[in-house]
Chain A
Amino acid sequence: AQKITQTQPGMFVQEKEAVTLDCTYDTSDPSYGLFWYKQPSSGEMIFLIYQGSYDQQNATEGRYSLNFQKARKSANLVISASQLGDSAMYFCAMREPQGGSEKLVFGKGTKLTVNP
């Protein structure tokens, strides 16, 4: 069963506008963590933002914020004031600390293109 679902293979946004990238997850563990990573065309994986399952507030990091809706099991990434450099693949990931391992499970990603 797919643990992380990113339903948008590609998204387009105009420069300076906001964009939301969707992510839903599936887990029965009450303790988990959700992450977003950015992968530009150069290939590296860049950590953006983290949300813990017990966190009361939605996480924010600069222009990135996470719209965490626990009951819906969604953790959407919001990028405000898009910039051309935001064009990249974005991956949502979940950590389930089962049995001591803290492996990340990734979604298939969303390709974001920011248009000038």
Chain B
Amino acid sequence: NAGVMQNPRHLVRRRGQEARLRCSPMKGHSHVYWYRQLPEEGLKFMVYLQKENIIDESGMPKERFSAEFPKEGPSILRIQQVVRGDSAAYFCASSERTGSGTDTQYFGPGTRLTVL
């Protein structure tokens, strides 16, 4: 009964490198959300995806950040040319989207990104 899986749990990158964060939703869930949490802050929405579709990317920075959720495999959040300000915890959540109005988002354990 696996929950939302994220890997890696911790990621260290030097400025200018690329970071790839992976998220496998809960079994039966077809909707994925990415959030970012800065230290001492609440979570901030980044992007909402369904299989092969980006539904809402209103929270994504315009440059260097991209996300995908392919037909097969996990969802990927990609950060190119990382900067120190990208250091944060990145959480993935998934939901079933039954249309019942009670679609709870269940979160993964997060990936802690540190940019040196």
Contacts and interface: CB of A to CB of B under 8 A. Distances in A.
- The main secondary structure of chain B at its interface with chain A is strand
Nearest to B31: A102
A33 B56 contact: no
Interface string B48-75: 1000000110110000000000000000
B110 A45 contact: yes
Contacts, number: 69
A67 B56 CA distance: 31
Interface string B87-110: 001010101010001111111111
A105 B89 contact: no
Nearest to B9: A43
Q: How large is the interface on B (under 10, 10 to 19, 20 to 34, 35 or more residues)?
A: 20 to 34
B112 interface: yes
Interface of A: 4, 31, 33, 35, 37, 43-47, 50, 52, 54, 91, 93, 99-109
Nearest first, the 4 A-B pairs at minimum CB distance are A101-B56, A106-B42, A45-B107, A103-B45
Interface of B: 31, 33, 35, 41-45, 48, 55-56, 58-59, 89, 91, 93, 95, 97, 101-110, 112
